[in-house]
Amino acid sequence: MAEDKAPQSHAELSADPKTHTESGLPFRPVYGPEALADFDPAAALGDPGEFPFTRGVYPTMYTGRPWTMRQYAGFGTAKESNERYKQLVAHGTGGLSVAFDLPTQMGHDSDAEISHGEVGKVGVAIDSVDDMRVLFDGIPLDEVSTSMTINAPAALLLLMYQIVAEDAGIPADKLTGTIQNDVLKEYIARGTYIFPPQESLRLITDIFGYCRAEIPRWNTISISGYHMAEAGATPAQEVAFTLADGIEYVRAAIASGQDVDEFAPRLAFFFVSRTTILEEVAKFRAARRIWARVMREEFGAKNPKSLMLRFHTQTAGVQLTAQQPEVNLVRVAVQALAAVLGGTQSLHTNSYDEAIALPTEKAARLALRTQQVIAFESDVTKTVDPFAGSYAIESLTDELEQEALVLMAKVEDLGGAVKAIEHGFQKNEIEKAAYQIAKDIDGGDRVVVGLNKYASDEEEPYEPLRVDPAIEAQQCERLAKLRAERDNDAVARHLAAMQKAAEGDENVLYPMKEALRARATVGEVCNALRDVWGVYSPPDAF
């Protein structure tokens, strides 16, 4: 629980993983009443669906209906990905989650020189609204919630999605889903940024304003700790740096003239779920509590929805192994259970073969079935927050909260998330944690079944899904055809209007939408903004 005085850290990254949490906090062999000697249930817990939301953001949680079951998919061409989406919908998934290839994530067209060799490799290649139409052909966009893992060019992909829906006769106020749109974590952990931080914040706040007016049910940002965790962040670091980024986005939106209770209800978060069930449950509960207090006490939010930390979870890809890949089915099931016990709003379960290649259809189906078994065959959905009052869980929740608050205070001391990024603080802290994990695994102190213990000399043959290298040539041909057919003068006019908005303070999404409707490409739109805003170049070293 948060205290009035400055929180004191007692985590050690070099602590023995056999006796300490992932965040370096000591585990007690036995937890009893003394662990909660200062525990105030009314202040720390509240009822489910009420401040401080420790027990969940909704009163009934899964007793009313289960979480949204998403499956992350996207590879090769839009047509191939569309076929996978239709299979997932037929198998019972309630939400789609789109993976884009690196050129799309970086705002480059498939025929750009920098894109060579990467087209369609780690996600689907989307160059224009034409590709977006193929990607969602036959998908009922007013019935399926869609999450898009896209950051720097998030505005473009959202607007393309809106255009496709409108062309199908679906009004924008019927669309539900999320764009990740979290650029700050790209500077910290992932690297798919385009513009400098301040210009990126400007674009994000323009998205907030646009969606409030045009796509009111859309979650405008998914503030992500997942990628920090995949880069090596501890659970405490994941919570601290994610919420610090969230605070920066809220400040930027307020500075742009928006009222906190107008945009905050559409903020969403994205966390990892590891195999360490107890700490993960505590992490989710602590994150909700911290965010509720920050929104009420620092920003004066009054709408209860502004105080709710709603989040999507993905099981921990970094914990999957290429050795004995079937064991990953067990890992994913444990990770998924931790997310559910922690109160997630939606969940993606990784496929067991993702440490080797893009998931096969069978592996993706098994990943979805894992969620369905937990939802419909276990009893964890029959009561809300079943760990509430547990000596171990409540103690761990308090300790994780304190550790996260220590790190958040350090970010604030540096001037906030952007200034801390410029100092390299978050990146440096995560790299130290990642180094310690690697050291523990190499030394055998941290057991990874099938890798450094219970290894097998013989591995069964596995045929991974492979992306056809001809996809790049096909996308280049589609782009050449598009540029020959469209009204290039209209594209140029709309891009110029977008640049004029970017130079001033008008919302850039309105002229951007017209450019995309005229079939401007992702690369053309991003290049036009690069000409105005420039590109981010990280310091050589910190």
What is the number of residues in the chain? 542
Q: Is residue 369 one of the residues assigned to a domain?
A: yes
On average, the pLDDT of the chain sits at 93
Residues 438 and 487 in one domain: no
What confidence tens digit (pLDDT) does each residue in 484-540 have? Answer: 999 999 999 999 999 999 999 999 999 999 999 999 999 999 999 999 999 998 875
What is the pLDDT averaged over residues 12-22? Answer: 86
| 362 pLDDT more than 80 | yes
What is the pLDDT averaged over residues 105-110? Answer: 98
Q: Is residue 8 one of the residues assigned to a domain?
A: no
What confidence tens digit (pLDDT) does each residue in 31-84 have? Answer: 999 988 888 888 889 999 999 999 999 999 999 999 999 877 777 789 988 998
| 27 pLDDT more than 80 | yes
Q: Is residue 538 one of the residues assigned to a domain?
A: no
Residues 439 and 488 in one domain: no
Q: What is the pLDDT of residue 95?
A: 77
Q: Is residue 52 one of the residues assigned to a domain?
A: no
What confidence tens digit (pLDDT) does each residue in 279-307 have? Answer: 999 999 999 999 999 999 999 999 999 99
297, 299, 221, 293: which is closest to 259 by C-alpha?
299
CA distance 527 to 491: 13
Residues 315 and 402 in one domain: yes
Q: What is the pLDDT of residue 4?
A: 45
Residues 154 and 228 in one domain: yes
Domain of residue 433 covers 65-443
Residues 508 and 374 in one domain: no
Q: Is residue 50 one of the residues assigned to a domain?
A: no
What is the pLDDT averaged over residues 183-208? Answer: 95
Q: Is residue 198 one of the residues assigned to a domain?
A: yes
Q: What is the CATH number of the domain that holds 261?
A: 3.20.20.240
What confidence tens digit (pLDDT) does each residue in 413-443 have? Answer: 999 999 999 999 999 999 999 999 999 999 9
Residues 393 and 479 in one domain: no
Q: What is the pLDDT of residue 540?
A: 59
| 202's tokens | 């400007």
Residue 456 identity: S
Residues 401 and 498 in one domain: no
Number of domains in the chain: 2
What value, to the nearest 5°, has the Cα angle with vertex 277 and ends 29 and 269? 135
DSSP secondary structure code for residue 82 in this structure: H
Q: What is the pLDDT of residue 10?
A: 63
Residues 500 and 418 in one domain: no
Which of 443, 462, 490 finishes a domain? 443
Residues 341 and 481 in one domain: no
Residues 365 and 421 in one domain: yes
Residues 216 and 345 in one domain: yes
Residues 263 and 391 in one domain: yes
| 5 pLDDT more than 50 | no
Pairing type for strands 68-73 and 177-179 reads unpaired
pTM of the model: 0.91
What confidence tens digit (pLDDT) does each residue in 442-492 have? Answer: 999 999 999 999 998 877 777 766 777 889 999 999 999 999 999 999 999
Q: What is the pLDDT of residue 1?
A: 38
Q: Is residue 6 one of the residues assigned to a domain?
A: no
Which of 428, 443, 458 finishes a domain? 443
What value, to the nearest 5°, has the Cα angle with vertex 153 and ends 350 and 215? 85
Q: Is residue 297 one of the residues assigned to a domain?
A: yes
Which of 425, 443, 461 finishes a domain? 443
Q: Between the CA of residue 379 and those of 344, 416, 455, what are the distances in Å?
A: 16, 42, 34
Q: In a 3-state reduction of DSSP, which class is residue 59?
A: coil
